[in-house]
Amino acid sequence: MDAGCFDIDWYTRNNLYQYNYGHDSQGYCQSVFGAANSTTTNAVVRYNVCSNNVRDAALAERQGTIFISTWDGGSLDGVKIYNNTIYYNPAADFPALKVRDTAVFVGSNPNFFKNNIIYSTVPSLTTAKAPFEQDYNLYWTTSSDPVRWDYQGITYNDLNSLSQQTGQESNSLYADPKLQNPGYHGIGRPLSAFALRSDSPAVDSGANVGSMGNRDFFGNEIPVGDGFDIGANEWSGSGSSEEHQLYFAQFAEGLGQLSSEIKVMNSDQTETASGSILLRDDLGQPLSADLNGMEVDGELRVSIPPKGLRVYRTDGQGPLSVGSAEVVSDKPLAGVLLFSGQAGSAGVGASPAMASGFSAPMEVNSSKGVSTGIAMMNLEDQSIVVELTLTDIDGNELAFAEVALDGMGHLARFVDQFEWDVSIDFSNFEGVLVARTAGKKITATVLQTYPGEFSTLPVVPQ
């Protein structure tokens, strides 16, 4: 297997790889090979999801996550790679798509890379050569370094230059693809991760490459709308069906002292609700935790019967794990998260998504042992800056601060732990914390501790 997930190996014909989920391999996600004086013919790779592969730096340089290579007199006659979604987070900065410069193409069958999404944490995106064609792809990187496409040994830093000089990628896009949970790489087939959001530029932006099958990675019929979408999901309201979310801005367990309990209820009288519980750490990455005796690496698939209730408990053991929780489902659900610890227990309902920010009551009294803080969860895929204003009980502004949240990231602090621009006496304080997000979606919960007591409070949307 060459440390990769899936191979279309040399001297094969009419191989079709579709609807697969490959993650966390040391090497590539998908390869197409030709060798031993033979020709690999009509290889098709479509509607797959690849996530967090190429965990070895040397293999990142040699292979990338989509690897096309020939050797020992081998050749390729027809390689079609289309409508795949790739989260590329390699151990070193090398291209996600690697067509080796020694790869030999023969015959009259088409060779192309089209309708694919590459969501990368590094700036190197593709390296390829003629006659391998690239077009109608959607690229994005979270890196601040200049992006790079290599074609015929020449590096290009924008799609316009690449298209003008080579004719490649003339209909491709460089933009945030607006994916649901794009960094997911847990065990278990994604149910909602990598699905397109309604405002994704991938919707209806793909090409009809011919004989594309009749469904996408999630089982949706294709096409929907005005044309084919880019990536493994054909948007039809969500990944696999209409999607509903519950957000819990604070989740914690561990040290034998803290535990969380998620209670989820399905009010539908006749139909079962299916979905996932998504756990994320402060950086927005999958958070590992024990739920009902099972080790969960960021996502637990759940099923709630009609009029039913399911409870998912952590054991409170092991190292401290702190972050946020989201419940994604195909039916509307209700839920509550119950915290338990040495300071007592408290339940909090799901928090709303807020695009304009929120206000929250704050109280600190050192003599009485009262502290108040805020837990925030970024609902955007990209990092955001939250502007904080602290006021007194009459609305007079006292101090300002800013905090950054990574994409889908989490932050929890007591009010006196923020870096305010002026000194505030928090020995006996009552007031309001106002958060503004410049139109970016966020959710939040107030956390308050008293001696031997812990409570949660909702925030007020702006």
- The predicted pLDDT at position 70 comes to 97
CATH number at residue 419: 2.60.290.11
- The predicted pLDDT at position 237 comes to 57
CB 185 within 8 A of CB 51: yes
The domain total for the chain is 3
- The predicted pLDDT at position 161 comes to 97
Hey, is 166 helix, strand or coil?
A: helix
Last residue of a domain, one of 319, 349, 379: 349
- The predicted pLDDT at position 122 comes to 96
For 200-220, what is the HEC assignment?
Answer: CCCCCCCCCCCCCCCECCCCC
Distance CA 457, CA 361 (A): 9
Last residue of a domain, one of 149, 174, 199: 174
Residues of the chain falling short of pLDDT 50: 1, 238-241
Q: Are residues 127 and 153 in the same domain?
A: yes
* Structure confidence by residue, pLDDT tens digits, 293-324: 998 888 888 999 999 999 999 998 988 889 99
- The predicted pLDDT at position 240 comes to 42
Hey, is 168 helix, strand or coil?
A: coil
Q: Are residues 165 and 17 in the same domain?
A: yes
Q: Are residues 318 and 364 in the same domain?
A: no
- The predicted pLDDT at position 298 comes to 85
Output the pTM of the full model: 0.68
Q: Are residues 254 and 127 in the same domain?
A: no
431-444 in b/e burial notation, b at 16+ Cβ within 10 A? Answer: bbbbbbbeebbbbb
Q: Are residues 17 and 150 in the same domain?
A: yes
Domain extent, residue 344, equals 244-349
* Structure confidence by residue, pLDDT tens digits, 139-187: 999 998 999 999 999 999 999 999 999 999 999 999 999 998 888 887 7
Q: Are residues 444 and 383 in the same domain?
A: yes
Q: Are residues 310 and 373 in the same domain?
A: no
Distance CA 334, CA 439 (A): 26
- The predicted pLDDT at position 241 comes to 46
Q: Are residues 314 and 286 in the same domain?
A: yes
In a domain, residue 248? The reply is yes
- The predicted pLDDT at position 238 comes to 42
